[in-house]
Structure 1
């Protein structure tokens, strides 16, 4: 018999419960139609002046061992020979799990909203979309939110059968099998490491400029990256409690300062700024639609955080869907209302030109003219703190990804280590060291932290995220088709099929506009895209070599 290892109480195997990025200011590029678009990832630094600164659950609500409980791994997953390793999924390998029953709807939403960095997106991403779609920008954000909501219909229905920190990878395993899931895991690792590398590099520039403008202290970019990364790593390793306290304060600050901007604009210009006159077919569906939709959609890349925290959720089968829709609604409304007010205040006839001419300073100047220098300075400070919240959210999210992959056997088992508080401590440390190693290599080689590190890696991460969504959409479709679930055709067939087709279109737009994502760099940077199919292929091969990989183990 295998030796039984004792764990702290919150780590012991338990019976299942009843069911119940961007921030950028950019230089101008020429589009194929000749209209100038700022590149969201080829950002010029913000100008700070002295006054302007996976576990499958039983398929009924009855607990295991009681009448009405479904078999552990019932469903289409078991019919697939490549998932034979899941037949013995009575417990997570090693009996290790994250601390359960810890997070409610609002707590999970905090992590996802923080990782979206809404304040930084309004200041940085919105000018990019304004320059492409002008007064149609608020509608572009609504379209992006509806696209994510469409994907969520089948995805969240499928979440009733999965409670796993592996995020999308667990869903791919459930629908398409272990081999495809391991390929998807490779893309997920590439995606989230790339996003963190690029965003940390950009944060360092903004933090350095802000501190220097306020204090005259001219410390290097690398210093601020190392100092703040050390703080976020410690918070990640300490567990969700510590991170939530910090995120709560930072998100509240972001929300209040943007609300202050909107209120000051209304006080100065009147409610007439919320005009429908700019919502024309030309502004919404014009030549700028592709790049606008791509960047608006990129502002929702943190959405996966809602399911990554499923193991730690209270009543996950109810909490996760509620948190997901709360995140979509909050971010969508936040972007729509703020950009609508900004567009009307500047003027629907002039917003496109203003955003093109001054993408990095437009929002700050508007804040100063409407409320005074205090609001402009506050926004500049909170853009930097918004980055900290985003990076802390991503650190917590990706460390749980690595934890789940280590526990499943796709990565070294050491990554599934947890601290006394039930946090994926070792995975959090590995994540930070990996990100810091890549950034260090580029900066020591003399690479520009914005034009090279940020542009290259955020573009790659965006393309990788679209790839993961395509795989997950396909997995949702296949899962419901193989399980024979047809109680609601909209939920199980129509919405998943439409979301899959929509992401095919978004994927095409990503490739079509990849040079814009790169800030016009092209060349060597374009070859980085090959990393996505190559790492996916490597994952497929590993999935065949190690059939015991188990993404959907039931935690008892």
Structure 2
């Protein structure tokens, strides 16, 4: 059967989780922050509604608070496998009830931001077309087009290419850097007005609003922890990437906002920002870089907003999808499309909400930038700031009583982050009416709605715990990350006891490697003339047969520190496993430690906790311990079937089976549905004239492949699922 075609999952489907480096994570995180949209879209609002020329202070404070948050967030990612963003950590430390509240808050926040960006896209596209073609297209029509595009991409589970996003990010940075160079060339060090950092300017307006808008600019940086299962060394890569990304983005935002103020002048800054609205920074690009820089900046702004809108739409729809799968939202939202494997119903729901929001603001006649986009993005940011605050608190609670905690990383820094984020939320909520420009009490109570939603989620969490304990047990399931082998120095241990190890199959080889590494004295015996145990067909008494293959895939199998070759098929054959085992023995120089061709004939325990071992070569030795690694599949469990003596055909146990050629021209009955039974039944179905299967009870047969990928690797998370597929 060696000529049988070996199957390997398509390389296009295999997405190894552990391929990201620190540098790539930094790149992805900064791309998520969308720097051009953050500066062009957020700075005018912060100047008008916030603290004016003191804006760089708000960005600096936001960066410091988020660095403290990041320290705790990254520290926890070293210990907890993160598969569910903020609410995973919150559930782990503060309880699943609070986690449910956090999940509802996250869904509300990302949905609000998604709606706000629909308005922002319509506004900026309106301004771009107006400037380029002198045609005024209603913003709500352009928003509708944006909603349709993003809805289509979400329904089909089409993510924008990482290469495209990377190119756009580099181009965005280039535009702003060119602008800064031009400003410095004209004004020199006057581009950095020191007045911005005076107490008077820093407090010249509602600092909470300025801080809230500054925090909005950083949205996306926290995604670094979500890449933990895609890095080879998450304990180091995630903290480094998070710190580098926050520091770089923070410095860039402080300098860019500072130079925007220097390019405009402190005295007429607020008036001009208010008059220009959302095109304030674009007009500065035109003033200093001409039409070319303006046009490039405007186009990149629209693509950046659309990309950000798509990302937040997908985040919101996946949150709704996850809540549906976990039975804390209508289960219909937990279904995926049969062809696209996308959370299509959840995506349609978010698209519907965005559409309704666009229609409502269009009918109301509200300004698409200063009211529609600003108010909803502010609501979303408030919710995310609250989530970050609770995530910081969860880090403190998680590490508070742990012996392995580090005071600064696990307690002090995240506590500073918690206080800073909580204060920012409170200040922004108090001055929310300044941002909306409305005195309507109901409109300005929107921040309270976020609190109500969170509390409602917590109450629902308690209800689920009481009424649906099975659902509750599965909520926000987390696991602690396994520790790497420590490099700490330990005092040497001198082992005086000597052991007898029997068997040189996989278990014996692993045990021998461990004993050698630990320095434990032992003698080792194997009756066969080579290692690999039952996987060697030449080993007398082996139950191996020609069509045998590994029941688990190469992605979930193998020796620790010695993975199976990539050239192997997904489910290797017996002879490939045999050769792999021999390669393992050679790699760790184990063949020189084993005595081959010698079996243990008798082992008797002695009164003093020792063992008397008799060997086939005539030797007899006394050992302090016996390690039996001979396996359990050498001796058949052969039932006696009533009337068997009258049967004229051939009766075989699976241990005696070797080749499917034995079935040619035969009518075959397979009794039992264990691993060997199913394999041999498959052979009989192909080679025998007729094949029958007898089992005592019902069985569930799991396919080897799902979505073209090995099932065990997909379910265990060794291989990332195809785009749009959720594995729970």
Matching residue of 1:386: 304
Corresponding residue for residue 347 of structure 1: 265
Higher relative contact order (CA 8 A, sep 6+): 1
CA distance, structure 1, for counterparts of residue 228 and residue 338 of structure 2:
19
Aligned to 2:33, which of 109, 116, 125? 116
Distance 2:339 2:412 in 1: 42
- Structure-1 separation of matches of 2:207 and 2:354: 36
8 Å CA contact retained: 2:121, 2:302:
yes
CA contact (8 A) 2:114 2:309 kept: yes
Contact 2:36/2:172 (<8 A) preserved:
yes
Q: 1:347/1:244 Cα in 2 relative to 1: closer, same or farther (>3 Å)?
A: same
Q: Is the 8 A contact 1:403 1:424 kept in 2?
A: no
Is 1:502 equivalent to 2:427 in the alignment?
no
- Residues 109 and 327 in structure 1, CA contact (< 8 A), matched pair in contact too: yes
Aligned residues: CA RMSD: 3.6
Alignment size in residue pairs: 465
Residue 200 of structure 1 pairs with residue 118 of structure 2 = yes
Which of the two has higher C-alpha Rg? Answer: 2
Deviation at 1:264, TM superposition (A): 1.3
Distance in 1 between the 2:339 and 2:81 partners?
19
- Deviation track 1:149-205 (CA, whole Å, cap 9, x = no partner) reads 011111110111333342100010111111110011111111110111112122112
Contact 2:316 2:350 in 1 (8 A): no
Displacement of 1:352: 4.7
Match of residue 376, structure 2, among 457, 465, 480 = 457
Cα drift, residue 293 of structure 1: 2.1
**What TM-score, normalized to structure 1?**
0.73
The answer as to whether partners of 2:56 and 2:257 remain within 8 angstroms in 1 is: yes
1:514 offset after TM fit, Å? 0.9
Whether the 8 Å CA contact 1:115–1:390 is kept in 2: the answer is yes
1:329 to 244, 247, 266: 247
Question: Conserved in 1, the CA contact under 8 Å of 2:52 and 2:201?
Answer: yes
Q: Is the CA contact 2:334–2:346 (under 8 Å) kept in the aligned structure 1?
A: no
Does structure 2 conserve the Cα–Cα contact (< 8 Å) formed by 1:159 and 1:317?
yes
- Asked if the contact 1:237/1:425 (under 8 Å) is kept, the reply is yes
Of the candidates 426, 431, 450, which is equivalent to residue 532 of structure 1? 450
Q: Which of 319, 322, 328 pairs up with 1:410?
A: 328
In 2, Cα distance between equivalents of 1:499 and 1:297:
13
Aligned residue for 1:299, secondary structure, equals helix
What residue is the counterpart of 1:64 in the other structure?
A: none
Contact 1:469 1:503 survives alignment (8 Å)? yes
In structure 2, the partner of 1:127 is: 44
Segments of structure 2 that go 5 or more residues without pairing to the other structure are 1-7, 480-715, 718-728
SS of residue paired to 1:100? coil
How big is the shift at 1:235?
A: 4.9
Residue in 1 that maps onto 2:392: 473
* 1:350-389 aligned within 5 A: 350-352=268-270, 354-356=272-274, 358-389=276-307
Taking a change above 3 Å as real, the CA distance of residues 123 and 11 of structure 1, as seen in their structure-2 partners, is closer
Give the stretch that moved more between structures: 441-450 or 168-177.
Answer: 441-450
CA distance in 2, matches of 1:113, 1:521: 37
Checking the alignment, whether the CA contact within 8 Å between 2:29 and 2:223 is kept in structure 1 is: yes
Spell out, residue by residue over 1:405-460, the C-alpha distance to the aligned partner (whole angstroms, 9 max, x if none): 44544345665667899985547734643443433552575553626543442232
Structure that is richer in helix per residue: 1
Query: What is the 5 A alignment of 1:40-439?
Result: 100-101=17-18, 103-131=20-48, 132-215=50-133, 219-233=137-151, 235=153, 242-276=160-194, 278-313=196-231, 315-352=233-270, 354-356=272-274, 358-411=276-329, 425-426=343-344, 429-430=347-348, 432-439=350-357
Distance (Å, rounded) in 1 between the aligned partners of 2:19 and 2:341:
11
Work out the CA distance in 1 between the residues paired with 2:252 and 2:272.
Answer: 22
Provide the residue aligned with 2:473 in structure 1. Answer: 548
Change (3 A) 1:105 1:338: same
Decide whether aligned partners of structure 1 residues 466 and 166 sit closer, same or farther in structure 2, where only a CA change above 3 A counts: same
The separation in 2 between residues aligned to 1:493 and 1:227, in whole angstroms, is 47
TM-score w.r.t. length of structure 2? 0.57
- In 2, distance between residues paired with 1:452 and 1:535? 23
Unpaired runs of at least 5, structure 1: 1-6, 15-97
Q: Deviations over 1:190-249 (max 9, x none)?
A: 111011111212211221332244235655434433433444455556768743133112
Counterparts of 1:253 and 1:513, CA distance in 2: 35
Q: Which moved more, 1:402-411 or 1:374-383?
A: 402-411
SS of the aligned residue for 1:387 comes to helix
Structure-2 separation of matches of 1:116 and 1:414:
32
Deviations 1:333-382 (A, max 9, x none): 22122122222333345545544554445433332332222222322222
How big is the shift at 1:278? 4.2
